[in-house]
Amino acid sequence: MKTVSVIIPTYNYGRFIREAINSVLAQTYHGLEIIVVDDGSTDDTQQILAGFGNRIITVRQNNAGAAAARNAGMAVARGAYLAFLDSDDLWLPEKIAKQITLFEADPELGMVHCGAERFDAAGKTLSVELAGLEGWVARELLATGQGLIAVGSSLMVRRHVAEEIGGFDSRLSTCEDGEFCYRVALRYRLGLVPEPLVRYRQHGEGKHLNVAMREKDMRLTLEKIFPSPDPSIQLLRKRAYGCMHRILAGCYSHRGETRLSRWHMLRSVCYDARNVSHCIPYPFRAALRALRLR
């Protein structure tokens, strides 16, 4: 049985971390090494981790972000595979076993992801997402603006693949998972288990909700990609930037920041006129939210 190193970065999520670790301990696949990287927590995280004893490996570092924490976990991992779990998310018991089955059936896969169930603070299911991409998908990821093909807690990768691409970019705070996936997809085929094997917790505190930070990270990601001399990549430049602005228009619209939303809508359509159909609903959604607040 090949070892899977499970890397869990955490920062001040003492209220969630015990449940996350227990969801790993409950896996039907037993060849697991659990590495929790405490990214400088100041709450009760350390006491909770100590309660697991030698069932987990704990790495502590000064606060440097989730990407740096995952890299720190990778540095001590011994498994043939790496699986990543955010400390506020959960796995269903067969998550690792089903991904291992797919890997072993196809030795050329570099990464396998799966579907996810989103749930709120009360435990209520908000949505179930089973769609994903598989095969040679790097250009599709770039063209559709899907950087992150699934939630980060669904990702499992061969360790040598993660090492080959240099791990996570620690400059990124909100889309490091997606940028990591893209670099894997440039070199390897991806696999998908179309089942909701991850429970993704939405609790209003994630960094992905910081739209300005997300914008900075998305711009940096595209700035990394487009110096590529590959003509097939360059052909996607306008479409990729159009997607970025379209996504940001929706994010700012959701936050009620109308001026920024309109600016990104305009930029989106200037890059790719097809985005006009996506942008049309945003003002109406903003108007409906304003009416509800009255």
What the block records as the tokens of 22 is: 């227990």
pLDDT in tens, 63-117: 999 999 999 999 999 999 999 999 999 999 999 999 999 999 999 999 999 999 9
Q: Which has the closest alpha carbon to 5: 27, 25, 26, 34?
A: 34
Q: What's the confidence (pLDDT) of residue 204? A: 65
pLDDT in tens, 11-32: 999 999 999 999 999 999 999 9
Q: Alpha-carbon distance 66 to 180, whole Å?
A: 13
What the block records as the tokens of 118 is: 């989103």
Residues (pLDDT < 70) of the chain are 145-150, 204-209, 282-294
Sequence letter at residue 105: A
Radius of gyration of the chain (CA): 19
Q: Alpha-carbon distance 2 to 80, whole Å?
A: 6
Helix (H, G, I), strand (E, B) or coil at 82: strand
- Strands, E, within 4-104: which ranges? 4-10, 32-38, 57-60, 81-84, 90-91
Q: Alpha-carbon distance 265 to 286, whole Å?
A: 14
Q: What's the confidence (pLDDT) of residue 108? A: 95
Lookup result for tokens 């670790």: 21
Sequence letter at residue 203: H
Judge whether 37 and 10 are in contact, CB under 8 Å: yes
Q: Which residues contact 6 (CB under 8 A, 6 or more apart)?
A: 24, 32, 33, 34, 35, 83, 84, 85, 96
> What domains are defined for the chain?
4-204 (3.90.550.10), 208-293 (no CATH)
User: CA distances (Å), 224 to each of 24, 40, 263, in order?
Assistant: 34, 29, 24
For residue 20, count other CB atoms closer than 10 A to its CB: 23
Q: What's the confidence (pLDDT) of residue 206? A: 57
Q: What's the confidence (pLDDT) of residue 253? A: 85
Lookup result for tokens 């914008």: 215
Q: What's the confidence (pLDDT) of residue 255? A: 83
Q: What's the confidence (pLDDT) of residue 293? A: 47
Judge whether 58 and 45 are in contact, CB under 8 Å: no
